[in-house]
Amino acid sequence: MALKAGWRGRFFEDFAVGDLYQHALGRTVTTTDNLWFTLLTQNTAPIHFDHHYAAQTEFGRPLVDSTFTLALVTGQSVSDVSQQVFANLGWDEVRLPAPVFEGDTIYSQSEVLAVRASTSRPNVGIVTVRTTGYNQRGEVVISFTRAMLIYKRGQAPEVPRLAPAQEGGQ
């Protein structure tokens, strides 16, 4: 039996300006997600957790906490753009052009905007992407740019792996 290595993410050398990654997984946002995230972050705006209050707004229902949307869409992008991250440098130009509601399914994609070697850290490079999240109707619900320090190939910490089972023994 041949051992097949799983996807470990892109290294700095794998990025090129203009690359577009459609992230593999969508995620349906639940009421529990919205309530828990709102409580965990101590967000006291009733539009997120008080269904009676939210029913009286122009939306007629709770809005999903926008920082949950930012976290979700960032997370969706990790396997394509930041699995080999040394550190995030920042999120900029965060825009929320349409609301997210409980029950919406969010998908996302990222476009590489800039790639350059770090002048202070020879083991990493700086990659900047624009990530866009959209709902099941194709409406853009969030967009942002994110700059990251990404390890160069052969420079990332080793991840411990189990040794393959030996044939005929333990």
Task: Report pLDDT digits (tens) over 138-150.
Answer: 999 999 999 999 9
Q: Please tell me the pTM assigned to this model.
A: 0.89
Q: Where would I find the beta strands (DSSP E) of the chain?
A: 20-22, 27-28, 85-95, 105-117, 124-134, 140-151
Task: Report pLDDT digits (tens) over 120-129.
Answer: 999 999 999 9
Higher pLDDT, 80 or 2: 80
On whether residue 41 sits in a domain, the answer given is: yes
The three-class DSSP label of residue 139 is: coil
pLDDT on residue 161: 73
- CATH no. for residue 121? 3.10.129.10
On whether residue 162 sits in a domain, the answer given is: no
Give how many domains the chain has, as a whole number.
1
Q: What are phi and psi of 148, to 5 degrees?
A: -140, 150
On whether residue 103 sits in a domain, the answer given is: yes
pLDDT on residue 62: 96
Q: Which domain holds residue 116?
A: 12-151
Task: Report pLDDT digits (tens) over 64-108.
Answer: 999 999 999 999 999 999 999 999 999 999 999 999 999 999 999
How far apart are the C-alpha atoms of 110 and 7, rounded to whole Å?
18
How far apart are the C-alpha atoms of 129 and 16, rounded to whole Å?
11
pLDDT on residue 168: 53
